């Protein structure tokens, strides 16, 4: 994590910005929640529970900086807002999202990743990065649906 923290500090300096306490807290909060994919409001709730009061606008601005720095990825889970996860958190993975309860499960996308690279080559693209979200119904919600 120190390497990523140093990268974030360097990115901020390159933008003429400083590492504030609020930025550091948001950065560390995303790190403390691997696999959770928090949104800005969830980050704020988690910080409040730790007696750390940071405005929602500051959290959004910090998340935007983290995304632009390449350290954090915004993940579309089919809602009106983005969720976030560390870019370095895990090997390439996709997200299964339940359309009923919103449950999110990560899955390894090794075979899919290879297929996408092959498609990219066939179409004359060198893929840099991609995101995979698959929407459906989890086992519990499917059972309730009958």
Could you tell me which CATH class the domain 2-86 is placed in?
Answer: mainly alpha
Is-same-fold flag (2-86; 93-145)?
no
Its CATH class, for the domain covering 93-145, is alpha beta
pLDDT tens per residue, range 73-89? 888 777 778 888 887 65
Residue-range domain boundaries for the chain: 2-86, 93-145
0.75 cut: is pTM over it?
no
Give tens-digit pLDDT for 23-61.
999 999 988 876 788 999 999 999 999 999 999 999 999
| DSSP collapsed to 3 states, 81-143 | CCEEEECCCCCCEEEEEECCCCCEEEEECHHHHHHHHHHHHHCCCCCCCCCCEEEECCHHHHH
């Amino acid at each position: 994590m120190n390497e990523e923290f140093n990268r974030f500090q360097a990115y901020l300096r390159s933008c003429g910005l400083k590492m504030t306490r609020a930025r550091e807290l948001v950065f560390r909060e995303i790190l403390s929640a691997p696999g959770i994919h928090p949104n800005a409001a969830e980050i704020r709730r988690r910080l409040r529970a730790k007696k750390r009061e940071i405005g929602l606008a500051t959290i959004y601005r910090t998340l935007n900086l983290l995304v632009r720095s390449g350290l954090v990825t915004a993940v579309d889970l089919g809602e009106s807002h983005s969720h976030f996860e560390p870019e370095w958190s895990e090997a390439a993975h996709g997200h299964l999202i339940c359309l009923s309860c919103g449950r999110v499960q990560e899955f390894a996308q090794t075979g899919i990743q290879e297929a996408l690279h092959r498609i990219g080559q066939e179409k004359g693209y060198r893929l840099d990065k991609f995101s995979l979200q698959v929407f459906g119904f989890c086992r519990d919600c499917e059972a309730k649906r009958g």
